[in-house]
A and B are shown apart, each in its own frame.
Chain A
Amino acid sequence: NAGVTQTPKFRILKIGQSMTLQCTQDMNHNYMYWYRQDPGMGLKLIYYSVGAGITDKGEVPNGYNVSRSTTEDFPLRLELAAPSQTSVYFCASTQTGAMNTEAFFGQGTRLTVV
């Protein structure tokens, strides 16, 4: 049982380049999330999805896009990479949107923009 899988684990991008961070889960969870983790700042929500075909902005969506064509996959797209997007990115999923639901996280993608 793989849970939440993210690829790649590490990536270096040049300013202005684009890339897609992949996230897939095999728990049939409807809710999926993308967070970024900056040093000393905790995790900030970028985008989330409540089901296939439905996405919405979180706290820090600028510079990112997402899509959710299937229940399993929730890729995060960076179109024009900027140094401010250097961070560790985490994908997560929950079974429901209830207040007590436990989140399952991937191992993270460490992105450096130079």
Chain B
Amino acid sequence: GNSVTQMEGPVTLSEEAFLTINCTYTATGYPSLFWYVQYPGEGLQLLLKATKADDKGSNKGFEATYRKETTSFHLEKGSVQVSDSAVYFCAPFYGQNFVFGPGTRLSVLP
């Protein structure tokens, strides 16, 4: 079946460090690709998305590029802040619903 593999956490970084969270998906069909974020005590919210190959999604300084050749959608940010501490979920959209990755917990230390 459809699946997604996501970098295991937790990831601990110092403020202003560079962040990469890897995500790869199974290449069944041509899914749209999403990153959702869950801040402590809050519900999931959309961070960014890309709907076709080579599209780049971006929001709040985060970016991810839809790489069809490597079936990847890695999340990056050049300089993380303490407020970025959260759990990040990679989520391909297959058919009519999402397949969520297990989540990567990010802790950013001041």
The answer to whether A and B belong to the same complex is: no
